[in-house]
Amino acid sequence: MASPVTIPVGPLGYNEIVLEPSQGRVRAIEIGGRIQFQDPDLVVAREYPDGRIVSGIRNLFTRTTDSVTRLRFDYGAGRLEDSFGKRVPVTSVKIPDRGVTFQFRFQEATWSPLGVDPRRFTPGPNQEIVERVVFLDRDGNLIVENFSYGLGSKYDRTKTGAKWRYAAARALGEESDPGPGNRLTTAELQKAVLEREFLVKTTQPVR
């Protein structure tokens, strides 16, 4: 067993003490008609402000953003799977409709699905449009890339085209300098895309 490590989780009202670390695996389960993810190996104790400690908590739920890269695409079976070989719908790698919020010391950032054409959306001064792409490499591993269009800036595909191409080519194993005539075509690069979505990232001070 690894040495205990304390992870502060202030907004939740307790600290978590890691008793057995994660092994990087993920289990997909269906709850209420949607897929959620658990870490099957992580075991923690929770220490509350009043001194109570609840030990041996396992099968903790994990965020989609933390779980996606633990999944794998089986090219032979033609499907996405969790660490136990269970089929996972491709749409489950997308950010949940309710969005996700990350809280830091002085600010929090919320990522929410953009329900309209990004070309029609004008972000506020504390918002940015993010193109989130899940790429597949040749071994079936998932790679997540976030392409930001700038704080308060409108969608402009020319700003991220080169970055998108580089990420897709890297996923497919193209050399950094393939030479004339050896660069993968756009159609070939598109084969590396498992899922693509547009999000609005909103940043604000912690209340």
CA dist., res. 29 & res. 119, Å (int):
35
Average pLDDT over residues 76-98: 95
Q: Quick one: pLDDT at residue 176?
A: 64
Q: Percentage of the chain surpassing pLDDT 70?
A: 91
Band of residue 183 on the pLDDT scale cut at 50, 70, 90: confident
Q: Quick one: pLDDT at residue 181?
A: 62
CA dist., res. 164 & res. 141, Å (int):
18
Residue-wise pLDDT for 127-167, tens only, equals 999 999 999 999 999 999 999 999 999 999 888 888 998 89
Whole-number average pLDDT of the chain: 88
* Contact by Cβ (8 Å): 35, 88: yes
Q: In the predicted model, is pLDDT for residue 4 greater than 80?
A: no
Sequence-ordered list of residues with C-beta below 8 angstroms from that of 203, at least 6 positions apart, any chain: 107, 108, 109, 126, 127
Tokens of 153: 């800036």
Band of residue 5 on the pLDDT scale cut at 50, 70, 90: very low
